[in-house]
């Protein structure tokens, strides 16, 4: 069983020991997590990509649409990290490693569908992100490369979460997959030889949050 599968099983079992969460008309709170989303695409010859871990910090607001369905908006700052490895000669072991850091202001908008009496939920929606900074470092390189990328990204997201009621507040944990739908390559992307003409963002996010109800049960 993979580490991600073990994590989902563990939190699901833990949540089953808590009473079911009551429906709330509206709630607000905060989020903190790790971002394993990096670039993906057809890498140029003798080039490979490695995922890195970035930080996620943000806020969240939730409005109940029905007893079991809620609309959630989560403005956040999200770091994306990718390791670029490319061969610089045909000699074995001779390669160049660069780190690409992309920082985003993201606004995920998603619908949550409660399950297991409110103890778990499934989510789906879109993530609209705005590039705030981009840098390329390593091997004597330290460059601002924001102008080489499209500054707006749109992704589809799918998530599974577990809810832990602790009185009126609710603690949530969520595993989320995000797939970018926009080609991030800018008009002058060829200046970075390790990147293809077309590439996208994709990967996993794991988050913990807390929600405080605004009136009602």
Q: 170 and 27 in contact (C-beta within 8 Å)?
A: yes
Q: What is the DSSP letter of 182?
A: S
pLDDT above 90: percentage of residues in the chain:
56
* Model pLDDT for residues 199-208, shown as the tens digit of each residue: 899 999 999 9
Q: pLDDT, tens digit, for every residue of 37-75?
A: 988 877 777 788 888 899 999 999 999 999 999 999 999
Position 108 pLDDT exceeds 50: yes
Confidence of residue 90 (pLDDT cuts 50, 70, 90): low
* Contact by Cβ (8 Å): 87, 46: yes
The per-residue pLDDT for range 136-167, each reduced to its tens digit, is 998 788 889 898 899 999 999 999 999 998 88
For residue 189, pLDDT beyond 70? no
What is the reported pTM? 0.81
With residue 6 as reference, give the H or E element that holds it. Answer: helix 3-15
pLDDT category at 93 given cuts 50, 70, 90 is: low
CATH number of the domain that 146 lies in? 2.40.160.20
Domain that holds residue 119: 3-213
Number of domains in the chain: 1
Return the residue matching tokens 């601002």. Answer: 144
CA-to-CA distance for 42 and 58, rounded, in angstroms? 32
Rounded Cα gap, residues 68 and 20, in angstroms = 12
């Amino acid at each position: 069983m993979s580490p991600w599968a073990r994590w989902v099983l563990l939190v699901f079992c833990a949540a089953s020991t808590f009473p079911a969460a009551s429906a709330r008309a509206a709630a607000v709170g905060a989020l903190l997590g790790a971002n394993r989303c990096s670039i993906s695409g057809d890498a140029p010859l003798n080039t490979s990509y490695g995922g890195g871990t970035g930080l996620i910090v943000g806020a969240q607001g939730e409005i109940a649409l029905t007893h079991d369905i809620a609309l959630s908006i989560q403005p956040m700052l999200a770091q994306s990290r990718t390791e670029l490895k490319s061969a610089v000669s045909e000699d074995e072991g001779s390669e160049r490693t660069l780190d690409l850091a992309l920082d985003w202001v993201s606004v995920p908008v998603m619908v949550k569908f409660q399950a297991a009496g409110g103890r778990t939920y499934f989510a789906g929606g879109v993530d609209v992100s705005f590039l705030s900074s981009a840098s390329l470092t390593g091997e004597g390189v330290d460059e601002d490369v924001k102008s080489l990328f499209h500054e707006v990204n749109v992704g589809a997201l799918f998530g599974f979460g577990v809810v832990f009621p602790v009185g009126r507040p609710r603690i949530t944990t969520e595993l989320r997959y995000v797939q970018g739908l926009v080609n991030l390559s800018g008009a002058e992307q060829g200046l970075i030889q390790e990147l293809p003409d077309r590439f996208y963002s994709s990967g996993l996010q794991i988050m913990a949050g807390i929600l405080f109800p605004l009136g009602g049960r």
